[in-house]
């Protein structure tokens, strides 16, 4: 059973860079299709940030204005999110998730528990 676990600083200063890692256990990161990041500001809905394909190609939400970078480290079986030039509006719970099926979309069937990141001085 694949499990995902987010980690990273819970507090980031304005204009700084938010860096999060999603550790994958119970299976190889190479054996799933898409790996994504989703966030949820306090009391608000879900926002898709972006994703990385097993081949390494990426897609991002243009609303983040090119501030997001998602990468994979296969040697550590983890993938990461960097979000630059953060403001208070980036305060949110950040989730990582995966879509497993190489042949036909099967949904984000595995999610991490989420990690709260607060942007504040």
Nearer to other proteins, 63 or 87 (CB): 63
Q: Are 2 and 109 in contact (CB under 8 A)?
A: no
Q: Closest CB to other proteins among 14 and 26? A: 26
- CB distance 40 to 93 below 8 Å: yes
Radius of gyration of the chain (CA): 14
Q: Which is nearer to other proteins, 18 or 60 (CB)?
A: 60
The least distance separating other proteins from the CB of residue 62, rounded to whole angstroms, comes to 6
| Residues 66, 52: Cα–Cα separation, whole Å | 15
The residue (of 1 and 121) whose beta carbon lies closer to other proteins is 1
Pairing of strands 68-73, 78-83: antiparallel
Per CB under 8 A, residues contacting other proteins are 36, 38, 45-48, 50-51, 59-63, 95, 97, 104-109, 111-114
Report, in Å, the least distance between residue 37 CB and other proteins: 11
Q: Name the minimum Å distance from CB 63 to other proteins.
A: 8
Asked if 23 contacts 111 with a C-beta cutoff of 8 angstroms, the reply is: no
């Amino acid at each position: 059973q694949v499990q995902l676990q987010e980690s990273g600083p819970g507090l980031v200063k304005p204009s700084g860079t938010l860096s999060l890692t999603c550790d994958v256990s119970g299976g190889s990161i190479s054996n799933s299709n898409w790996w994504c990041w989703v966030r949820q500001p306090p009391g608000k809905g879900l926002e898709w940030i972006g994703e990385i394909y097993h081949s390494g190609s990426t897609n991002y939400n243009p609303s983040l204005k090119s501030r997001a970078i998602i990468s994979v480290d296969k040697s550590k079986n983890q993938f990461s999110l960097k979000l630059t030039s953060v403001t208070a509006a980036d305060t949110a719970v950040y989730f990582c998730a995966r879509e497993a099926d190489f042949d036909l979309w099967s949904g984000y069937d595995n999610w991490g528990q989420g990690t709260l990141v607060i942007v504040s001085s």
